[in-house]
Structure 1
Amino acid sequence: MELFLLLCSMVSTFVSSFLLSVLLVIRSLPLYSINLSPQPDGATARIYEGSVRHSRTKPVANSFEYPVRYALFDLDSAPQISHLSADRAREAAGTNGPVFLLTIPASVGYEQNPLRVYYCYHFDGKVEEGGEVSSRLKNCIAEVTNTPWGEKVFFVFSPGSDLVAKPLHVSPFMDMLGNWKLRVDEPGEKLYVAISVQHPTLGNYFNATLSADRVQSSSTSSSLNMYFWLMPHKVALWIYWQAVKLWWKNVPFIAHPKYSNATYRDEALCRNDELKLSCKAGECVACEEDGEGTSRTRWCTWRDAQWPWS
């Protein structure tokens, strides 16, 4: 069934993307104005270009790297993008400042974002030169989507370094055991995101990184459409191709836990509680105090991803 859904998704995406690509060319002509993008005109985006690298060591070695393009939006001025609202992100992260979303924008009707990051800033009351109130990056929110199951999970984490029990079946070649160790640097001229898997029997066997440089800013939907043309499709193609390679290397296929264990999400939350308990002994950073004298409670929620995986 999962393979059938994947094939249907690929065929549907190919047909719709081809037709919309033709319309995108027509839209570039001065006589036409066809809106194919969810990005509103006037929503300035910081554009980053770099690469994503995946590396695993067990049960077989496999690594790959591919080029990517990302956009960083100020959510308070980009209300039409599919995302958590800025207010909802602030509520979940416990912040009161700006919220920026790192994402691969949809292209010709298709969206593929294995990971989105919300950067949530907090005003600390300090006044800088010029009279502006300073803000700092306090928390981040990860939005992880799996394909082709059409599920996503949101959870809050500390940007410097954090540890969270794995809450989502992302790859059919990884089980639900283990933790995700996350590190996110504040976005500036450079961008860096790192996730590694800490498994109880396989050890630290998987690492994924995003490294990118800021290249330009864009404030028009037409320029975003052209710059990110087929970028989501390329990401999906690289993911599926690597899955084929792992299958060819006889890496065991692991079915989605929902077919055998209806409580797998609750178990993930319980394992995260265990991380919090170990935090009190200073063994991890997952629930250290937030600097204001209160212990953090991790916000985590699951949702169905809208077709096609947005």
Structure 2
Amino acid sequence: MEAVYLLCYVASTTITSSLLSLALAFQSIRLFFCRFGSPGPEVGGREGDGDGDGDAAVWLYEGRVHHARRRPVAHAFEYPVRYALIDLDRVPQPPHLSADRAREIAHTNGPVFLLTIPANMGYEQNPLSVYYCYEVAEDEGREEVGPAPILRMCIAEVTNTPWGERVSFVFCPGSDVVAKPLHVSPFMDMLGNWCMFADAPGEDLSLVISVQHPTLGNYFTATLRARRVHSFDSNFLATYFWLMPHKVAMWIYWQALKLWWKNVKFLDHPKYLSSRYRDDAVLRDRELLSQNAGQSKILPNCTSNMDFKGRWCVWSEAPWPWS
């Protein structure tokens, strides 16, 4: 039944994306005549501004996502992506966390930046968005000079369309291990742990998630490598994210169909097997935290946010991707 639901969702997404894409021509005409009639958020790296990124509210990144599965069958693919890194103190992004809420969760006091693919043509597709939460010296605040803010904590926001669920949890940048809290693929069970890596965004950024499974071992890795875009003009900005969410959805579901064709076992959502699957994930994560206690290479800087009682982790219903 779930396989039929997934196929129906892929078909509906394809049809809706095709219809909305017809509006691109009309949208381009409108933008041509009333382009940027009102000032928007300042974007880092604008051509002719030099570096100037310290005063920007939004930075643009372009890169590639690579997925590699090693068991039970070998399967790998890669696709291009475009992201925005947004200063949430200057450009709030509903329905995401506010900067103040992110600081409260992460126990930090500095800037908060959100890495995400903005909605486009009425559609949003973000399998993973990341909040980068920085710490500044108490006596310096966010004033001009002084020590540079330190990336202290990250918050992952994982959405599992087509099931319409979202989980948000803290993880320590550099390296962390999190018990898998969400059914994100019909070809993976809930027993794996997510090994998370994130560096502080600069000229380049990296995100790596590998899955450690009790029987399959390190059998899956997802990687994002991106580089900051510096030279562009307003015409470029108007089209930078056009159909980006739609393309991500199509690439993901096309690869799901290929896995199904390779006879990889299709797994039902764990909620059909146990209503306590989220509680089980929390218990497994507490065990991980207990095992990793005192290992600074695993949990550096995270003692104020996570202890044996568990890390901050919240499940919610994801907003409907079409708006």
TM-score range, shorter chain: 0.7 to 0.9
Deviates more, 1:89-98 or 1:123-132: 123-132
CA contact (8 A) 1:126 1:133 kept: no
1:187 aligns with 2:201: yes
What residue number does 1:92 align with? 105
Q: What is residue 165 of structure 2 aligned with on the other side?
A: 151
d(CA) in 1 for partners of 2:223, 2:77: 11
- Structure 2 letter corresponding to 1:270: L
Compute the displacement of 1:166 (Å).
0.4
Matching residue of 1:168: 182
**Counterpart of 1:63 in 2: which secondary structure?**
strand
* More strand, by proportion: 1
**Paired residue secondary structure (2:320):** coil
Match of 1:42 in 2: 41
| Structure 1 counterpart SS, 2:290 | helix
Greater mean alpha carbon deviation, residues 269-278 or residues 225-234:
225-234
User: Which deviates the most, 117-126 or 193-202?
Assistant: 117-126
Shift of 1:285: 2.1
Per-residue CA deviations over 1:138-182 (Å, capped at 9, x if unaligned) read 000001111210111000000110000000000111000021000
SS in 1 for 2:267: coil
Amino acid paired to 1:215: V
Within the candidate set 221, 228, 244, 1:214 is matched to 228
Match of 1:230 in 2: 243
* Structure 2 residue corresponding to 1:75, chosen from 59, 69, 88: 88
Scaled by the length of structure 2, what TM-score is found? 0.84
Residues 110 and 294 (structure 1 numbering): CA distance in 2 closer, same or farther, change over 3 Å? closer
1:134 aligns to what SS in structure 2? Answer: coil
Q: Which residue of 1 aligns with 2:55?
A: none
The one-letter amino acid of 2:266's match is F
Identity %: 59
Residue ranges of structure 2 left out of the alignment (5+ in a row): 44-57
Q: How big is the shift at 1:42?
A: 1.9
Alpha-carbon spacing, 1:18–1:91, altered in 2? closer, same or farther (3 Å): same
Letter in 2 for 1:25: A
Counterpart CA distance in 2 for 1:60 and 1:196 is 16
The DSSP-based 3-state class of the residue aligned with 1:77 is coil
Partner secondary structure for residue 271 of structure 2: helix
- Are the counterparts in 1 of residues 107 and 305 from structure 2 also a CA contact under 8 Å? no
Change (3 A) 1:293 1:104: closer
The residue aligned with 1:25 is: 25
Identify the residue that residue 55 of structure 1 maps to in structure 2: 68
Report if the CA contact (8 A) 1:115-1:143 is conserved: yes
Partners in 1 of 2:11 and 2:116 — Cα distance?
Answer: 24
Q: 2:273 maps to which residue?
A: 260
Following the alignment from structure 1 to structure 2, what is the Cα–Cα distance between the partners of residues 257 and 283? 33
1:195 match: secondary structure? strand
Using the TM superposition, give the Cα deviation of residue 65 of structure 1 relative to its aligned residue in structure 2, in angstroms.
1.0
8 Å CA contact 1:49–1:212 kept in 2: the answer is yes
CA drift at 1:200: 0.6
User: Residue 65 of structure 1 corresponds to which residue in structure 2?
Assistant: 78
User: Alignment RMSD, CA only?
Assistant: 3.0
Equivalent residue, structure 1, for 2:2: 2
Aligned partner letter, 2:25: V
Q: Alpha-carbon deviations, 1:208-259, whole Å to 9, x = none?
A: 1000111138897x85451111111111111111111111111111100001
Distance 2:135 2:314 in 1: 22
Paired position in structure 1 for 2:53:
none
Please, which of 281, 304, 307 is the counterpart of residue 317 of structure 2? 304
For 1:3-59, what per-residue CA distance to the aligned partner results, in whole angstroms no more than 9, with x for missing partners? 454455445444544454444432333576599xxxx92253211111111111111
User: What is the Cα deviation at residue 292 of structure 1?
Assistant: 7.0
Q: 2:134–2:153: 8 Å Cα contact kept in structure 1? A: yes
Distance 1:113 1:107, change over 3 A: same
Q: Distance in 2 between matches of 1:79 and 1:233?
A: 23
